[in-house]
Chains A and B, each alone.
Chain A
Amino acid sequence: MIEAHGLVKRYGATMAVNDLSFSIRPGMVTGFLGPNGAGKTTTMRLILGLDAPTQGSVTVGGRSYRDLPAPMREVGALLDAKAVQGGRRARDHLLCLAHSNGIPRSRVDEVIRIVGLEGVARRRAKGFSLGMSQRLGIASALLGDPAVLIFDEPVNGLDPDGIHWARTLMRTLAAEGRTVLVSSHLMSEMALTADHLLVIGKGRLIADTSMDEFVRSSSQHSVHVRSPQAAELAARCREAGATVQAGSTSPLAAAPVVGTDAGTDPDVIEITEMDSAEVGKLAAAHGITLFELIPVRASLEEAFMELTRDSVEYQATGATR
């Protein structure tokens, strides 16, 4: 259980975390989602006592991290896979950490086995790929067999096989009743791993919701229609309370003919706030001919981008020169 109350962190003029309150419950994977620079890592640093909050507080199991009597037994964390001294052998690195919390030597070999680094445990960490470093970082998080696990972008650098493994590991840890917090900036990754979502943007909490709820509420529905009487249908729909846009933004709609722009096709309209059945009935009632009637559902990725659009810190302008 991780609980934050009115957490604020300011670095000079930058508001990295702005009034965050949340509680992360055991027994499920909580996905911590937000664009780059949203404050995910800062929040994790605050949880782990690396940074002191400007205001507010955060506790793990009811205590602030610095007051935990056996920190690694209670919380396992992977913040930055490359935060190891390269000159040290992987096994020695884990051994140093194990000693600091009185964790037996046998557990070091156990976690090396769990993450599949047996073959390279005696190699120096500076020769490790990002994927191997991630596994070493996950091993160090698991050392104390902790009830709370915190992973910052753990699948970065892992190959598809490794990603699948990490996902399964996190789900298993949660199923054992542990609290698991995993950050990512990829909605598609979270969709497969998390049960619960914490979405932040520009340091503020945007959503704190179950994955199912998020999918249901934020998946936008719209209806793509092609009709020779598009203008008339648009008018009827507006009368019925729907919002109608000319053209189509849907990638599912028929591809535009070469040389024409789908946005300027006068026969195509996009209707929101009305489902396809209603549009069809309305068209039938007024004798309007339809060529295409396609319900369009936004993907989770789009839903996430829509949600965080206003809070993206670094945005490309589209032009390349």
Chain B
Amino acid sequence: MTDATIAHTGLDHRAPFRAATFGDALRSEWAKLRSLRSTFWALAVTVVLGVGLGAVISAAAAHGYARSSASGKLSWDPTSVSLDGMAIASLAIAVLGVLCISSEYSSGMIRTSLIAVPKRGRLLAAKSLVFAAVTFVAGEVTSFAAFFVGQALISGHAPHAALGDPGVARAVVGTGLLLTALAVLSVATGTLLRHPAAGIAAMIAVLFVLPGIAQALPASWQNPVTEFWPTLAGGQLTTVHHSAHTLQPWPGFGVMCLFVAIVYAFAWTLLDRRDA
């Protein structure tokens, strides 16, 4: 029925072609991310949780402010309160990041992808870069929205923050940056572990379980953990008020980035060496 259709694509008539580039890989990964419904759901959850939960937490904290202790009032950080919802929103980004590579493994798509882009470092870089860029945009939008909504709810009940206050703009922008670092970490984790469930479990452990366990440790053990555990150290970028035994914002974020770089390097090496 369609036998004749391909006749004109015979070898003699093939158009000259150019080499595939990193830009082509980027376009491909962008098209991949866009063409799955799960992307929209995960990003919608990120925005809704980030802004919605932040609003609820801000309203509750603002109403409790009058009754809080003197030390509680001293450490009052309206910026950080309004951005609290981002911790849960980051879970949606972590899940989506793990899935954007591990679902290729579970479906077998990774083989199709690696036949199309056999330079594996290029595939991973394109995937990470596209997802990081999407997360950066969604993260900044969410964190600015959460900040403004939160401050509007806090004002009148407790001292609120303005973008121009010292450290505030850095904390709001930093929240999107931390989310972006987390996005790269989750793509790398998905690449390392290849199974969606394992990757998501690992990300939950890194984000919530291990920091939670640290809370139960004696102070002499707890302090270095809260100071240097990558996600907690990175979290310093998102607060204005800093408690004892924490790194400064940018060095803290540096620790997070270093951790991401190490995991990424492992993922890159293993992806390159392992049979797909």
Residues of A near any B CB (own CB < 8 A): 45, 48-52, 65-66, 68-73, 75, 77, 79-80, 82-89, 92-93, 95-97, 99-102, 110, 113-116, 140, 142, 144-145, 147, 165, 168-169, 172-173, 176-178
**Number of A-B residue pairs at CB separation under 8 A:** 135
| Cα–Cα, bound, A101→B119 (Å) | 12
Q: Knowing A50-B276, A113-B5 touch, does A145 contact B14 (C-beta < 8 A)?
A: yes
B1-47 contacts to A, CB under 8 A, are 1-3, 5-7, 9-12, 14-15, 17-21, 24-25, 27-28, 30-32, 35-38
Query: 6 interchain pairs (CB within 8 A)?
Result: A70-B19, A73-B20, A92-B35, A168-B3, A172-B6, A173-B6
Between B10, B27, B32, B116, the greatest number of chain A beta carbons within 10 A of the residue's beta carbon is seen for B116
- Chain B's interface: helix, strand, loop or mixed, by majority? helix
CB of B2 within 8 A of CB of A116, answer yes
Nearest opposing residue in chain A for B27, CB measure: A99
Give min CB distance, A201 to chain B, whole Å.
22
The answer to whether B107 touches A85 (Cβ under 8 A) is yes
Q: Which residue of B lies closest to A142 (CB)?
A: B6
In the bound complex, residues from chain B placing their C-beta under 8 Å from that of A85 are 36, 103-104, 107, 109
Q: CA separation between A241 and B111, bound complex, in Å?
A: 56
Smallest CB separation, B9 vs chain A (Å) = 5
- Min C-beta distance of B14 to chain A, whole Å: 6
Q: Decide: B6 and A114 in contact? CB cutoff 8 A.
A: yes
- Additional 13 contacts, C-beta under 8 A, given A69-B20, A142-B6, A172-B3: A71-B117, A72-B115, A75-B115, A83-B110, A87-B37, A92-B31, A99-B27, A100-B25, A100-B117, A102-B17, A115-B2, A176-B10, A177-B12
- B11 — nearest CB in chain A belongs to which residue? A177
Contact of B24 among A102, A116, A165 (CB under 8 A): A102
Q: Which residues of chain B (61-84) have a CB below 8 Å from chain A?
A: none
* Bound-complex Cα distance A71 to B122 (A): 13
Across the interface, do B28 and A73 meet the contact criterion of CB distance under 8 Å? no
Q: Is there an interface contact between A70 and B17, defined as CB atoms closer than 8 Å?
A: yes
Which residues of B pack against A, CB within 8 Å?
1-3, 5-7, 9-12, 14-15, 17-21, 24-25, 27-28, 30-32, 35-38, 103-104, 107-119, 273, 275-276
The smallest beta-carbon distance between A15 and chain B, in angstroms, is 15
Q: Which residue of A lies closest to B38 (CB)?
A: A87
Known: A50-B275, A89-B35, A96-B32. Contact between A169 and B25, CB under 8 A?
Answer: no
Given A100-B24, A101-B24, A142-B6: A71 and B118 interface contact (C-beta under 8 Å): yes
Asked whether B118 lies within 8 Å of A100 as measured between CB atoms, the reply is: no
